[in-house]
Amino acid sequence: MLQLAVILPTYRERANIAPMVARLDAALQGVVWEAIFVDDNSPDGTADEARRISLTDPRVRVIERIGRRGLASAAIEGMCATAAPIVAVMDADQQHDPELLPKMLAAVEGGEYDLAYASRFAEGASTEEWGRPDRVKASGLANRIANKVTGVELSDPMSGYFMLRTETLRADAHRLSGVGFKILLDILATVDRPLKVKEFPLNFVARIEGESKLDQTVVFEFLVGLYDKWLGRIIPTRFALFGTVGAMGVAVQLGALWVLLKVIAGERFVYGNWSESATFNTANTLAAIIAMTFNFVLNNELTYSDKRLRGFGPLLRGWAQFGLTCSLGLLTNVGSAAVLKTIGFHSVVAVIVGIVLGSVWNFALSSRFVWGKY
Ligand SMILES: Nc1nc2c(ncn2[C@@H]2O[C@H](COP(=O)(O)OP(=O)(O)O)[C@@H](O)[C@H]2O)c(=O)[nH]1
Ligand SMILES: [Mg+2]
């Protein structure tokens, strides 16, 4: 009977697939296992390579996701795609030693522990062969913050190598955020009942083939993960990100408006008491355009980092499209503010209501027309 599924999220790991399967086979002698590669349509043909192996070794399965990116969501989908009672997640790049799998399996299968994981920072673990003291430092800091925020006390809650009973995962899968890379932390912080955790020291080695995908995004994704932990259940993540950027845009618009009014109205300027509505509307329109440009740049870098527009041409086109699709939002934004001001609302209230109404339009339209697959 099937005992264990090993989930291996991949992005551009073609050269690591065959060696990884061979190492799993060697490490898991005597265990009935399957391996599920969850590939995000890697351009190097990682999924093809895994399918090639699967033809002669049906223990190897492939999930290919189109138009999607993300380590955590890949891990979750992989874990939900098996009938095996116990499931493990590990990197496919051979930085995680498969020799630990049988020991983890013994700990979880016996029922003594709910979850086993490999720690890069436990007693007896090592990151020396990784050769990345910068990442070791960053991980250490992230771990300390994660401990404080979630109350999860492990030496390495950011580890990507763990094993648990599949039913534990399935019970809470719908509540996991699936954002970023910190899937273990997500699971530990999400389950209601505390899990009994067994820690295994890991010798985290350098990559043999390919390159790291998390180097650039690791800090940002961590922050998104924390944000998501706090607010993710109330506001969907992409919209939360868009909203966060939008909130910064609010500050930018108010700041720009303040500067513009000071320039235009000069001596007569008193914040919150703009007597001439023509001056106010002109300045507010300009301020909204400045905020829109700011939002475009940040959304492109952060909110839609998985669909980021690159190069001068696409960026300019994207900005124009963003401006175009947001022009409705901009009209809503400035128009509603003007109306509210006319009927006697305080200027700041008028501006903020305008911004909120405008943002909803902007999200609805831009996620489809600027970064979507229109
Ligand atoms: N499916 C999927 N896998 C990913 C993604 N990003 C990284 N991975 C895989 O996650 C594992 C860890 O990523 P890696 O870049 O090695 O991170 P690092 O070891 O922390 O530098 C590797 O197997 C990657 O191929 C992604 O967006 N989607
Ligand atoms: Mg790696």
Cβ of 75 below 6 Å from ligand 1 = no
Ligand that comes closest to the CA of residue 16: 1
Read off the amino acid at residue 71. Answer: L
| Three-state SS at 39 | strand
**Closest Cα to atom 11 of ligand 1:** 91
**167 in the same domain as 247:** no
pLDDT at 269: 58
**Which atom of ligand 1 lies nearest, measured to the CA of 8?**
23
Are 251 and 303 in a shared domain? yes
pLDDT at 240: 80
Ligand nearest to the CA of 135: 1
Query: What token pair was written down for 137?
Result: 């430092």
Q: Do 309 and 185 belong to one domain? A: no
Residue 220 inside a domain? The answer is: no
How far apart are the C-alpha atoms of 295 and 250, rounded to whole Å? 10
Tokens of 265: 């109205």
Q: Which SS3 state, helix, strand or coil, does residue 94 take?
A: coil
Please give the backbone phi and psi of residue 61, each rounded to the nearest 5 degrees, phi first: -120, 160
Question: Range of 16's domain?
Answer: 4-211
The whole-number pLDDT of residue 216 equals: 63
Query: Quick one: CA dihedral 166, 171, 176, 178, positive or negative?
Result: positive
Residue 225 lies in a domain: no
Please check whether residues 176 and 47 belong to one and the same domain.
Answer: yes
Q: Are residues 25 and 110 in the same domain?
A: yes
Starting from the CA of residue 218, give the closest ligand: 1
For residue 300, give both structure tokens.
Answer: 């492109």
The predicted structure's pLDDT at residue 86: 98
- Same domain? For 200 and 245 the reply is no
- Which amino acid type is present at position 297? V
pLDDT at 149: 72
Q: Enter the DSSP assignment of 67.
A: S
> Which residue's CA is the closest to the ligand 1 atom numbered 19?
212
Start-to-end C-alpha separation, the chain: 46
pLDDT of residue 23: 98
83: nearest Cα among 113, 56, 61: 61
Predicted local distance difference test score (pLDDT) of residue 194:
83
At which of 211, 246, 266 does a domain end?
A: 211
217 assigned to some structural domain? no
In a domain, 168, yes or no: yes
Max CA separation in the chain (angstroms):
84
| 159 in the same domain as 294 | no
Is 171 found in the same domain as 28?
yes
Q: In this structure, are 155 and 245 located in the same domain?
A: no
* 227 in a structural domain: no
Total residues belonging to the chain: 374
- How many CA atoms within 13 Å lie on the side-chain side of 266? 1
In this structure, is residue 218 part of a structural domain?
no
Residue 22 sits at the vertex; the CA angle it makes with 118 and 1, to the nearest 5 degrees, is: 75
CA 236 / ligand 1 centre spacing (Å): 23
Listed residues 143, 177, 211: the one ending a domain: 211
- Do residue 179 and residue 264 come from a single domain? no
193 occurs within a structural domain:
yes
Residue with tokens 């043999």: 208
**Measured in angstroms, how far is the CA atom of residue 12 from the centroid of ligand 2?**
11
- Ligand 1 atom having least distance to the Cα of 74: 1
Q: What is the pLDDT of residue 267?
A: 59
For residue 79, is it left (φ>0), alpha (ψ between -120 and 50) or beta?
A: alpha
- 72 CB under 6 A from ligand 1? no
Integer Cα distance of 343 and 337 in angstroms: 10
**Could you please report the per-residue DSSP string of 215-261?**
TTTHHHHHHHHHHHHHHTTTS-HHHHHHHHHHHHHHHHHHHHHHHHH
Are residues 250 and 154 part of one domain? no
- Count the domains in the chain: 2
Q: Sheet harboring 4-10: ordered strands across?
A: 60-64, 33-39, 4-10, 86-89, 162-165, 115-119, 197-201
Report whether residue 212 contacts ligand 1, using a CB cutoff of 6 Å. Answer: yes
- Per-run averaged pLDDT (10 residues), the chain, 374 residues: 97 96 98 97 96 98 88 93 98 95 96 94 88 84 78 85 95 78 82 89 88 71 74 74 85 91 70 65 87 91 80 90 84 89 91 85 85 70
Residues 149 and 81 in one domain: yes
CATH number, domain at 59?
3.90.550.10
- What's the pLDDT tens digit per position in 289-329? 898 899 999 998 888 877 778 789 989 999 999 988 888 88
Of 36, 65, 91, best ligand 1 pocket probe by most atoms within 8 Å of the beta carbon: 91
Task: Return the ligand 1 atom nearest residue 46 CA.
Answer: 25
User: DSSP of 133-145, one letter per residue?
Assistant: HHHHHHHHHHHHH
d(CA 337, CA 350): 4
State how far Cα 76 lies from the chain centre: 13
